[in-house]
Amino acid sequence: MQTAATAELALLLEVTATPKPGNVDRERDHDDLRFEQFMAGAVGARDGLVAMTDPSVGVGEAFERAVAGMGERAERNTQFGALLVLAPLVRATAREDCTLDGDGVERVVADTTVADAAGFYRAFEHVDVAVRDPPEGMEPLDVRRGADAVPALRERELTLSEVMERSADRDGVAREWVDGHERVFRAARAIADLDGPVPDRAAEVFLELLSREPDTFVADTHGTGTAHSVMVRAQEAREGGPELVRAFAESLVAEGVNPGTTADLVAGALFVAMERDGVTP
């Protein structure tokens, strides 16, 4: 239960990090998403997070439970990607044969099954998730088909690990699954090395991550050119100081640009920083 509580707290701390340019935070809502809905989503995901700590429950099933609870409580998608980042981290923490590091996460991912992939697909039936169209020839495996795609998964015997591998070149969360959560663990160490309130540290690390790589959710929703521009502007804001960061945050909200993948990684990093690195809010 303690591990699940830490994961829930990570979701709550992520949304309180301010400013987090383009994302909902304590000072900024979106037209269709409010700060309190993220709080509700984190609380709603609790039962699924608890299931993630139970090795007898499949990772995919636990993830679906978390998404269903989030969607029911928040009445929309608030933390789908963050929960997907957290799933192998929480399971690695709970398994006696794993450690909370890249090797442990890779073991969890390698052990996923076709049933886990089915749970992942069913999760898309609980909330609307913005995703790209599938590559040509992959239409039967379009995640937006939800449970209707499960027969195709079973026919091709695709595990959840293999599903993530097929998306890793265009989805930052899937790439974490394939790469042993490399960026998440680096970000966790950065949070641990900083001083001050944990939400402030998370906001600083968010901006650092955003300045290093284009956000794949921005690329999905606004194109790769915009994603690259946001990355460059994030670096300029970091160099310009707090006032420029706040202006950057306001401008992204006004433009409707939401670096959601970067926020998802920060949620995972907060979990690792608290669970492994001794960070306490």
Question: Is 154 within 8 Å of 163 (Cβ atoms)?
Answer: no
pLDDT digits (tens, 9 = 90+) for 241-258: 999 999 999 999 999 999
> Cα–Cα distance between 128 and 150 in angstroms, integer?
18
Whether 176 contacts 266, CB under 8 Å: no
Q: Name the residue with tokens 């609307």.
A: 128
pLDDT over threshold 90, residue 153: yes
Q: How many residues does the chain have?
A: 281
Cβ-Cβ contacts under 8 Å for 20 (sequence gap 6 or more): 202, 203, 206, 207, 249, 263, 266
> Using one digit for the tens of pLDDT, what is the confidence trace for 47-81?
999 999 999 999 999 999 999 999 999 999 999 99
Give the mean pLDDT of the chain: 96
- The CATH classification of domain 2-275, taken from the options 3.40.50.1100, 3.40.50.720, 3.50.50.60, 1.10.4200.10: 1.10.4200.10
Residues in CB range of 120: below 8 A, 6 or more apart: 60, 63, 64, 84, 143, 160, 163
Q: What are the pLDDT digits (tens) for 79-93?
A: 999 999 999 999 999
160 has pLDDT over 90:
yes
The one-letter code for the residue type at 218 is: V
Query: What are the pLDDT digits (tens) for 99-136?
Result: 999 999 999 999 999 999 999 999 999 999 988 888 77
Model confidence pLDDT, tens digit, residues 217-226: 999 999 999 9
Q: Is the pLDDT of residue 239 over 90?
A: yes
| Residue of 18, 33, 71 whose CA lies nearest to 200 | 18
**CB contact at 8 A, 237 and 21:** yes
Q: Residue 23: which pLDDT band, with cuts at 50, 70 and 90?
A: very high
Q: How many CB atoms lie within 10 A of CB 137?
A: 7
pLDDT band at 149, cuts 50/70/90?
Answer: very high
Q: Where are the domains of the chain?
A: 2-275
Token readout for 39 is: 């709080």
pLDDT at position 215 is 97
pLDDT at 138 over 80: no
How much of the chain, in percent, has pLDDT values that exceed 90?
94
pTM exceeds 0.95 for this model:
yes
Q: What angle do CA 175, 178, 181 make, to 5 degrees?
A: 75
- The pLDDT score that the predictor gives to residue 136 is 74
User: Are 266 and 209 a contacting pair, CB within 8 Å?
Assistant: yes
